[in-house]
């Protein structure tokens, strides 16, 4: 168990090689035709952060029915089971947006005001990535709504993040408590999931459906 996996610590926000303390792998076999069997592996690992010594329980999965390519990292699609965290799967995000989001997460338990500013910066990058580059942030958000990239409710959520970000950036006397920051993270997650993660998951689902349909046709022949 000496292998180190690079993950983001849900406690202190540092991205660093984690020490594996324990591992459990549950293997499920399902019978297929021609006496073959499909293997489904659910993996649960306990990691320790070398920076803050915090623990996390991480879940990953792989199976023999999905195509994996050399260099694929199953940890990219894994998730933290413990502790509860608002962090999403950042590997589905464009590099610059991923960096901005991770910066917000890193200071989440250190400086609430800086965290809120970083979330607003993340939103600015989403607008730029989707081609909305003119005007103030609220104008860019309106443009994304008009283009159908953000539905109306998502646009309202974005405006809330924008307003809180403005307060933080302008030095307004506002107390950004932990509850408020957690709420803003949830709001930001919904936007990122809608714009980036859900389309990726839908694309994967369509590919799997096409593969199943092709396999069914081959079986009929």
Q: What is the pLDDT of residues 41-50, one digit of tens each?
A: 999 999 999 9
152 and 170 housed in the same domain:
yes
At residue 32 the predicted structure's pLDDT band, cuts being 50, 70 and 90, is low
Mean pLDDT score, 25-32:
82
Q: What is the pLDDT of residues 50-92, one digit of tens each?
A: 999 999 999 998 888 776 766 778 888 788 888 876 677 777 8
205 and 146 housed in the same domain:
yes
Q: Which residue has the tokens 């799967």?
A: 89
Q: Which conformational region is residue 149 in: left (phi greater than 0), alpha (psi within -120 to 50 degrees), or beta?
A: alpha
96 and 200 housed in the same domain:
yes
203 and 140 housed in the same domain:
yes
Angle made by CA atoms 166, 172, 177, in degrees to the nearest 5: 85
Q: Is the peptide bond before 174 cis (omega within 30 degrees of 0)?
A: no
103 and 145 housed in the same domain:
yes
16 and 103 housed in the same domain:
no
pLDDT at 25: 94
Alpha carbon of 86 to those of 53, 150, 183: distances in Å?
Answer: 20, 21, 9
Mean pLDDT score, 29-49:
81
Question: Which has more pLDDT, 36 or 213?
Answer: 213
Q: What is the pLDDT of residues 105-126, one digit of tens each?
A: 888 878 888 888 888 899 899 9
Q: What is the pLDDT of residues 145-197, one digit of tens each?
A: 888 888 776 666 667 777 776 776 665 556 677 777 888 888 888 889 889 98
81 and 108 housed in the same domain:
no
Contact yes or no for 43/60 (Cβ under 8 A):
yes
Question: Which has more pLDDT, 52 or 142?
Answer: 52
Domain that holds residue 68: 1-85
Total domains present in the chain: 2
220 and 173 housed in the same domain:
yes
- In angstroms, the CA 153 to CA 160 distance is 11
- In angstroms, the CA 80 to CA 48 distance is 13
pLDDT at 2: 45
DSSP secondary structure, 102-117, as one string? HHHHHTTTT-HHHHHH
């Amino acid at each position: 168990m000496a292998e180190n996996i690079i993950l983001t610590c849900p406690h202190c926000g540092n991205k660093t090689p984690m020490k594996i303390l324990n591992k459990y792998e549950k293997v499920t076999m399902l019978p297929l035709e021609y006496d073959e069997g499909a293997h489904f592996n659910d993996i649960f690992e306990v990691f320790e952060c070398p920076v803050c010594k915090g623990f996390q329980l991480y879940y990953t999965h792989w199976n023999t029915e999905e195509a994996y390519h050399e260099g694929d990292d199953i940890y990219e699609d894994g998730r933290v089971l413990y502790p509860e965290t608002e962090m999403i799967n950042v590997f589905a995000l464009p590099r610059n947006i991923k960096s901005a989001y991770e910066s917000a997460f890193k200071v989440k338990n250190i400086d609430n005001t800086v965290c809120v500013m970083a979330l607003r910066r993340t939103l600015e990058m989403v607008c730029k990535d989707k081609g909305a580059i003119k005007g103030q942030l609220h104008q860019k958000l309106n443009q994304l709504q008009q283009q159908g990239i953000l539905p109306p409710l998502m646009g309202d959520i974005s405006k809330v993040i924008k307003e809180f970000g403005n307060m933080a950036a302008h030095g307004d006397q506002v107390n950004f408590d932990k509850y408020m920051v957690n709420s803003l993270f949830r709001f930001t997650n919904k936007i990122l999931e809608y714009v980036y993660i859900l389309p990726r998951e839908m694309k994967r689902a369509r590919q799997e459906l096409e593969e199943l349909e092709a396999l069914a046709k081959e079986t009929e022949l």
